[in-house]
Structure 1
Amino acid sequence: MRQPRIEPLRPEEWDDGTPDALSPLLPAERANPDDAGALLSTLLRHESLTRAYLHFNAHLLLHSTLSPRVREILILRAAVHRGCDYLWDHHVPLARRAGLTDDEIAAVRTGGGVALGDLDLLVAAAADELDTHDTLSEWTWAALSEPFDERQRMDLVFTVGAYHLLALAVNAFGIVDD
Structure 2
Amino acid sequence: MRIDKPRVAPLAESELGDEHRAMLGDRFRSGKILNIFRTLIKAPRAYKAFMWWGGYILSDHNDLPAREREMIILRTGFNWKAGYEWAQHVRIGKDCGLTDEE
- Normalised TM-score (structure 2): 0.82
Q: Aligned partners of 1:42, 1:32: CA distance in 2, in Å?
A: 17
For residues 35-84 of structure 1, the C-alpha deviation after alignment (integer angstroms, 9 at most, x for no partner) is: 22111111111122211221111100123121110110010011011011
User: Is residue 58 of structure 2 the alignment partner of residue 56 of structure 1?
Assistant: no
| Cα 1:67/1:19, change in 2 over 3 Å | farther
Deviation at 1:16, TM superposition (A): 2.2
Give the match for residue 80 of structure 2.
82
Percent identity among equivalent residues? 29
8 A Cα contact 1:69 1:99, kept in partner: yes
User: Is residue 17 of structure 2 the alignment partner of residue 15 of structure 1?
Assistant: yes
Larger radius of gyration between Structure 1 and Structure 2: 1
Which runs of structure 2 are paired with 1:77-116 in the superposition (5 Å)?
A: 77-104=75-102
Matched length:
99
8 A Cα contact 1:79 1:85, kept in partner: yes
User: Is residue 37 of structure 2 the alignment partner of residue 35 of structure 1?
Assistant: no
Q: Aligned partners of 1:22, 1:51: CA distance in 2, in Å?
A: 9
Residue 103 of structure 1 aligns to a residue in which SS? coil
Deviation at 1:32, TM superposition (A): 4.8
What's the RMSD between the two structures over aligned residues? Answer: 2.0
Bigger helix share: 1
Residue 92 of structure 1 aligns to a residue in which SS? helix
Q: Aligned partners of 1:73, 1:66: CA distance in 2, in Å?
A: 11
**Tell me, which stretches of 5 or more residues in structure 2 are unaligned?**
none
User: Which among 26, 44, 58 is matched to residue 47 of structure 1?
Assistant: 44
